[in-house]
Amino acid sequence: CWMENLMCMSVTLVLLFMGLLYVFCIVCQWIMGWPDKPGYMKYLEAANPRIYRLTIATLDLLNYLKYIRLYYQLTSWYSNKENLKHFQKGLVFGRRRNKLDLYFPPKSEDTPTPLVVFVYGGAWSSGSRSIYCLLARQMANELNATVVCPDYSIYPKGNVVGMVQDVADCLIWAQENGPRFNFDKDKVVLVGHSAGAHLCALTTLFLADGREELLIESEKQELITRSIRGVILSGVYDIMDHYQHEKTRGIEFVSAMHNAMTGEENFPLYSPTCVVKKLSQEKLPRFALLHGINDVVVPFESSSKLSEILASRSVKASLHLLPDVSHTDIATDLMLSNRRLYQRIYRIIKQEF
């Protein structure tokens, strides 16, 4: 009798657990968006076994709880008026009147410093320049450079073309404001993480190719292209590959990437791995690719693939694969000097810079 009771209890617990997973994920789909299927098919698609992968991916977000203290530190630093001596916030730029923050180098010199433009990630649908205040401040100190961190039109406010236009507009702003802030407008290094790395790479390639989508005069595009001395990246470069990876995690319908790239048919148009194949290597700056081996959000094969393609095109590039480094580590550990990977990652960035 006790065996039967144990079996019944076990079956009940399993069914309850499965039911909770389905409820959790159905609610997640309801909030984030249903699969792009007609009629009732979207509900059937939402209820297939991939729902468990979505649960695991969502539960992975609990790892972000370890950054609560860091989040408090950066928000308090950004809102503290005493720190305004280190940076200037809310400078307006571009056709959409976005804002950027500018961080001063540690030493005031007569010679203009190089300019770093840091573009943050956030799956093309989230993020803010204020979150990266500590990173930008440390980067200015470590590289003795002026650092600019711009906002851009994240989805659904904008799509990938608008985002690339915003990054290009930031570079135009740099051309116009170098003397005002004493940085060298002709020595610009783009640094990007995650979706920001994708946007940095795509903007650089579009400028080198003189793309009409940028809605910038060709002469100005050539001027900006020449000003970019290098690109330091850690992120996504092949949208088709990344969409397949999203499927393995069960997040392809709740991810904004599909919509931000204006549909699956346009994935090749906005994949740096595809765009670079059509360009002359003489037009491209040096690329430095950093990637964590333990990155489950964007597998390190993303950087390996771009590195191979760049090499096949005779573009100057280097690849740094970092053991025991996750997707978020490579950005968060640049924010404070006591973080575990701070010295290790900055050593590579300084070498490339």
The residues, ordered by sequence, that sit 6+ positions from 268 with a Cβ below 8 Å of its Cβ are 239, 240, 274
Q: Locate 334 and state its tokens.
A: 């640049």
Please say if 327 is a catalytic residue.
yes
Between CA 111 and CA 12 the distance in angstroms is 73
Please say if 302 is a catalytic residue.
no
Contact 208, 240 (CB under 8 A): no
Between CA 127 and CA 237 the distance in angstroms is 19
Between CA 45 and CA 312 the distance in angstroms is 40
Count of C-beta atoms within a 10 Å radius of residue 352: 17
Catalytic residue among 295, 307, 320, 333: 295
- Secondary structure of residue 319 in the 3-state scheme: strand
Between CA 300 and CA 327 the distance in angstroms is 9
Q: How far is CA 69 from CA 64, 66, 75, 82, in A?
A: 11, 7, 10, 21
Please say if 258 is a catalytic residue.
no
Catalytic residue among 194, 271, 303, 307: 194
- Secondary structure of residue 237 in the 3-state scheme: coil
Count of C-beta atoms within a 10 Å radius of residue 11: 10
Between CA 349 and CA 353 the distance in angstroms is 6
Which residue shows structure tokens 């964590």? Answer: 292
Catalytic residue among 193, 245, 320, 327: 327
User: What single letter denotes the amino acid at residue 11?
Assistant: V
Name 54's bridge partners. Answer: none
DSSP alpha helices (H): ranges in 125-277? Answer: 133-143, 160-181, 195-209, 218-227, 239-249, 257-260, 272-275
Count of C-beta atoms within a 10 Å radius of residue 58: 17
Q: Locate 338 and state its tokens.
A: 């006591």
Catalytic residue numbers, as ranges: 194, 295, 327
